[in-house]
Amino acid sequence: MAEGKIAFELVSPERLLLSQDVEMVVVPGEEGDFGVLTRHSPMISTLRPGVIQVHEGSAVTDSIFVAGGFAEVTPARCTVLAEEAVAVGDIDRAATEQRLSDARDDLLDAKTDLEKAAAERQIAVSEAMLKAAG
């Protein structure tokens, strides 16, 4: 591994999406975004729906939207387990808006707490997705 770099991995249940050595990643933690450089102290955090930014030098090389998940950080690597991940450039605005309105309808129709929670989660995810798309 190159000096001053951290091994960053982005994994979804279906496949390994990204695995590369990067200078810094900014991860949307549950309690606020955090940047991970090499020799970060070990931590495990849950993620909120938001954008992961990969920094090389002083520029952002990759922005990936995640719908939540977990991040494990050790001094040498940063692993993000995401249930859903899309590159910010690939977000389909219309489809996301559709998803948001569907989720809102679901929330109105929800009978059980479980359905309600699922719909609320969908709303949060699609709102964050729209925000990420800009």
Partner 1 sequence: MPNLKDLKVRIDSVKSTRKITSAMKMVAAAKLRRAQEQAEASRPYAQRMDRMLGSLAAAAAGQAGAPKLLAGSGSDETHLILVATADRGLCGGFNTSIVREARRLARKLLDDGKTVKFFCIGRKGRDQLRRDFSGMIVDTIEDVAKPKLSFDKASSIGERIVAMFEAGEFDVCTLIYAEFRSAISQIVTPQQLIPFAIAESDNGDEEADKADDKPDEGLNGATYEYEPGEEEILTALLPTNLSIQIFKGLLENAASEHGARMTAMDNATRNAGDMINNLTLIYNRTRQAAITGELIEIISAKEAM
Contact residues for partner 1, defined by CB under 8 A = 9, 11-16, 29-31, 41-46, 70, 72, 74-77, 79, 81, 83, 114, 118
Closer to partner 1 by Cβ: residue 20 or 60: 20
- Nearest distance, CB of residue 44 and partner 1, angstroms: 5
- CB nearer partner 1, residue 32 or residue 57: 32
Residues 28, 33, 39: CA angle, nearest 5 degrees: 100
**Alpha carbon of 46 to those of 41, 110, 112: distances in Å?**
16, 26, 26
Taking the complex as a whole, how short is the minimal distance between the CB of residue 131 and partner 1, in angstroms? 22
Spatial contact of 31 and 43, defined as CB atoms under 8 Å apart: no
Shortest CB 75 distance to partner 1, Å = 7
Q: In this complex, which beta carbon is closest to partner 1, that of residue 16 or of residue 94? A: 16
Gap between the Cα atoms of 93 and 23, Å rounded: 30
Q: Give the shortest CB-65-to-partner 1 separation in angstroms.
A: 17
Residues comprising the chain, all counted? 134
Cα–Cα distance between 92 and 86 in angstroms, integer? 10
> Judged by CB, which is closer to partner 1: 60, or 106?
106
